[in-house]
Structure formats: structure tokens, C-alpha cells
Copies of this chain bind each other. A is one copy, B any other.
């Protein structure tokens, strides 16, 4: 439903139709085609906030008049593409009705998310108790209130003197009792009734890993601890910046001055989470009113934006969080539909850039209990690293702004880990061998493929220590935009399927891996630890779980730990969220981890610039 003021004449709208999805939308002049696609429900990719930077929102104009080419388009689109009608949707405005084609690569679809994570036997001690209550029907002689009756029934199980009831649960009760022969399931959280359900309905919980780019949600039975369903989605906030800082700046610049309604970024991510939860219970045939508890992890910026906490102070030095302790908040206060009085538990964080997801990773990987020196690395748009020495009481954590390059952003032919993405690369004497996800035709390189390709370039001495392409030699060729290495040739038609790595791609990876490498070095330095002392290296996150570790060492993303066992554990943050969802003990442990971990601010660490410069290098140590 559109809102409009009466008596405000509006200019005529343009009708925009999209293929191949067969959707359309009517928009006012001045609306970009990126916004038009979003309005039509088309998940057109964009990670720069719509200002011609990320170059992901490529579309083809099939019919109609549009605004003139924007400099960003002249710079990024080839002549052949321009002839075909390619435009960047964010820089293009309609001058007439339009017919638009969206190439598959421009869509945010079929993302392979890490939903499984590591497994492990953990304690089951949910914060929700469920009690089945059967009460006497009221009569003129006994007209006591419905809730009083149920509380009396609960007194058989628990000390109900201090028992309170969420107003939403009270709203459910009168009709539930009368429709179910005076029997109800009562969901009780310590001394509060948070909801009721029909007799015999088990309480469910949802664990959520709220990433900068991706969101994973898991539906669990709180009585058995069993996972019932899982679902992944993209963080809709990515439209407003794919890295944390851009997104925080957007939030600061677009805050509602009255503070009355939640910010746009909060609204969007809450809507996505609400939809994910609805999708989960639909999958299993359960009811939203059974969702009696939630546990949410994410980096500090993501949890702040979800909670609609102020972020101005988080976006500038000294990067101060509004709150770092665990938060229990009514799900309804996050616009989430669940059992009416259900809470969401947000795990505690450590610093402005070491968030609840990091704590969850430590929970899931037991780093806090390891017997040897343990290093945990969760590679993402931000990479968090923790180092623990059993001989010291406190752990140390740091955060590196590694950026989205490992997720394919800002890379010429980079794509997310989707069908057709090259995930591994190997050079032979006269060919390039690669493997794609789903064994489909190659459409781009995902993170692990890029690492492999650059490691191979390094092994074959095609780049120097500073990451510069060596002169052309048959394998390095001079393309339209400078030297490039061809990973896949494609079918030759207008460059379709041709996949290359250019100098600027190596530069991007170099910055990302330099930051991570420097973070590891700084943690080793401040704890007085040499690489040979490290007994265990845990790589978490989707990317960390798929990379070839030898190649990661080869490109100097990781140092060589001669005595370490490596574990690639997948989505450990999600696993930690699940553990804390079903166990009060794990929530207490998370508090302890938060209290026992020091935050190392890398930007003020003496000598960090040197470590960063070292980390950018490609040392010629072929193992």
C-alpha cells in the first residue's frame, strides 16, 4: 500500500518491466533502476549502497529511454557491453517506460551458506521450562481470574510466589483455556510465563548468526536440543554498504532525529529475521507461538544495528560500543513474531570490533579450554582472531578490517561462493586446472579460488615478492586494462565465461591478507608467542573452511605454524549461538569468556604499520 498526500499532484510514472523474472513496477522519474528492481522484489546485487562503486548491479536495457551514461559506467563497462545495452542500475534513471533484462550474475541467488558448522555433544539446559497445566473451569461460585487459576496449577511444579506473566501470554490464555478443555502448555523462563500453547506443544528456539553479509538461522527443539531446520539469507543491509564502516556511516547519516521509530537498517534486518523464522516453522509445520527463545550472535556493529543502538561513537576512534554485556530483550521489541513474551538473548561482546559472534566461535571451538596454545581465526568481512595461552588467565582478541575481497567483492571476476564459482585452481606446465561449485560452467572466482590462483602465480614465480605481475611470458598477457592472468578462457563470444585475474585483484587480496597476517603477528607479539609454540589453529567461517591451507600459507595469509594442528570448523559462530540457545550454562560461559578476554586495538599497536607491510609481502618460500 502506497502512502501519499492528497492534493499533491505527482509526475506521471514510468512502467518498468523486468525479464527473465516477468515482474514489473511503476516508478517516479528520479528513482534509480536499482531501487526499481528492489521495489519489484528482484534481489539485484549491490554492496556499495548504490553509488557506482561495487559494479555489481549490471543490467541490460532492452527497450526505452534512459538517462545518459554516468562516468562510473564509462569507466567500468567495455565497449562491447555498452553496445549490448549494459548499464549500472544504480546510475541509471528512466526517461520512458523500460524493458530491462537482469543477467543471472547480477542476482543475489543460490548463495552457498555455511549452515552446518562443527558438531559436538553439549549440555542441554534450556532457559525455558514447559509445564502442562489442567485447571478447573470457573463458575459463579469460583470466578477467579484465568491467570490466577493457571498460576495455582504451576505451584505444583515451581515456586510461583514471584511468578509473573508477560502481558502477551496473558492475552493468549483465556481463549486457549476455553478451546482446549482447560489445558495449556505453559512456557516459563525463570520466574516469568512468556507464553502459552495448546496442550502438548513443545517449546522451540531459534539461533541466529547475524553476519555482515549473510544471516543463518536454526530452529531447535528446546526439549531435545535437536536441530529441526536451518535457513540462510543475505543481510539486506548490504545495500547500504558491504563493509561495516560504510554501513555504520549510513546509519549515522540516516538516523531518525526524533529517535521514535527504529532506523531503516534495524527495520530491514529485523524484517529478514522475522521472515526467516516464519520460514523455519513453516518448514517443520510448527507454530510461531512455539518459538519461546532466541539467541543471536553477530559482530558489534551488526548487533548494534539490529538493536537500533547508537553507532556514531562506534564508527570513529576509539570505537566505543554502546553496550558490550549480554542483552535479554523481548523479541517483540525487535519486531520479531514469536511466542508473545519470548526473549532474544544477545551474547556479550568484547570490544567495538570483537563481537558476540567471536564469543560464540570461542564457545563452539572450546578455545577457552584448550590444553595447548590455541589460535582462532574467523575470516569474514571483518576477521576476528583470538589467541589463548593456557599459562595465562586472559585471552587476547583482535579484529582486522579484511574487507569483502574473500567474498568476491571488488575483484574483477569475483563472485560469492555460488554455483559456477571456481573454488580451486591449479597450474600445470601448460594449462590451468580448476573446479567449480556444482561442476557448472565457470562464471567467476570465489574466495578459495582466488587464494589458489594467487598461490599458484607465486609458486610459478609469475608475481614478485611485492605481488606485482612479472613481465609477460605467455602466461601473463597484456589485456585491455593492463596485465592479466587468464584462469578460464570461456567460449570466446564477447568474452562470455572468460575469467581473469588483474593486478588490481592481487592488490585487493594483498590488502585483505596483509591485515589478517598483521593481526596474527601482533597477537603473537603481545603474548610473547612464537609460531612454533602454537598447538592448534582453528579456521572458522565459510571462507576459512574452504581454503587450501598450504596455499594460504604460501601467499602469507597465515604464518607457518610448524607444530600446529589445523581445524577448519565451518560456521562456528552459528554453532556457538545454537549451544547458547539450548544451555544456560553456555550463556554463563560466554559471560566468562567476555570478562576474560582483552581487546587488542591494532591501529594503536606500536609497529602495526611494519607488521602490515610485512603481511602484504609474498615471500618466496615454496614448501
Contacts and interface: CB of A to CB of B under 8 A. Distances in A.
B174 A312 contact: yes
A259 B174 CA distance: 13
16 contacts: A2-B5, A2-B6, A138-B313, A138-B318, A139-B318, A140-B318, A143-B318, A145-B323, A147-B323, A170-B307, A170-B309, A170-B323, A171-B259, A171-B322, A173-B310, A174-B312
Interface stretch (A234-242, A326-334, A367-375, A384-392): A326-334
A566 interface: no
Contacts of A1: 3, 5
A24 to B, nearest CB: 14
Contact of A171 (B5, B175, B308, B601): B308
A252 to B, nearest CB: 11
A604 B140 contact: yes
B174 A351 contact: no
A246 interface: no
A323 B146 contact: yes
A321 interface: yes
A350 to B, nearest CB: 10
A65 to B, nearest CB: 24
Contact of A146 (B147, B173, B322): B322
A140 B312 contact: no
A82 interface: no
A614 B186 CA distance: 48
Q: Which 10 pairs show the lowest CB-CB distances between chains A and B?
A: A145-B324, A145-B321, A147-B323, A174-B310, A143-B318, A140-B604, A140-B318, A138-B320, A174-B313, A145-B323
A599 interface: yes
A312 to B, nearest CB: 7
A494 B217 CA distance: 75
A601 B5 contact: no
Nearest to A139: B318
A317 interface: yes
A621 interface: no
B167 A313 contact: no
A165 B337 CA distance: 23
A303 to B, nearest CB: 11
A96 interface: no
A389 to B, nearest CB: 22
Copies in the complex: 2
A351 B146 contact: no
A514 to B, nearest CB: 22
A466 interface: no
B4 A322 contact: no
A325 interface: yes
Interface in A279-329: 307-310, 312-313, 317-325, 327-329
Contact of A323 (B4, B165, B317): B165
A141 B325 CA distance: 19
Contacts of A4: 2, 4
A143 B351 contact: yes
Interface of A: 1-6, 138-148, 151, 164-165, 167, 170-171, 173-175, 178, 259-260, 307-310, 312-313, 317-325, 327-329, 333, 337, 351-352, 599, 601, 603-604
A310 B175 contact: yes
A143 B601 contact: yes
Given A143-B319, A170-B309, A171-B310, 16 more contacts: A2-B5, A140-B318, A142-B318, A143-B352, A145-B325, A146-B320, A146-B322, A147-B325, A148-B324, A151-B325, A171-B259, A171-B309, A173-B322, A174-B312, A178-B313, A260-B337
A21 B71 CA distance: 59
B175 A317 contact: no
A333 B170 CA distance: 14
A322 B140 contact: no
B320 A167 contact: no
A328 B162 CA distance: 13
B170 A322 contact: yes
A151 to B, nearest CB: 8
A317 B143 CA distance: 9
A233 B298 CA distance: 47
A206 to B, nearest CB: 19
A77 to B, nearest CB: 35
A148 B323 contact: yes
Contacts of A139: 318
Nearest to A151: B325
A28 to B, nearest CB: 12
A2 to B, nearest CB: 5
Contacts of A329: 167
Contacts of A325: 145, 147-148, 151
Contacts of A313: 138, 146, 174, 178
B322 A145 contact: yes
Nearest to A337: B260
Nearest to A149: B320
Nearest to A174: B310
Max count, chain B CB within 10 A of own CB: residue among A143, A144, A601: A143
A120 B171 CA distance: 37
Contact of A143 (B320, B322, B333): B320
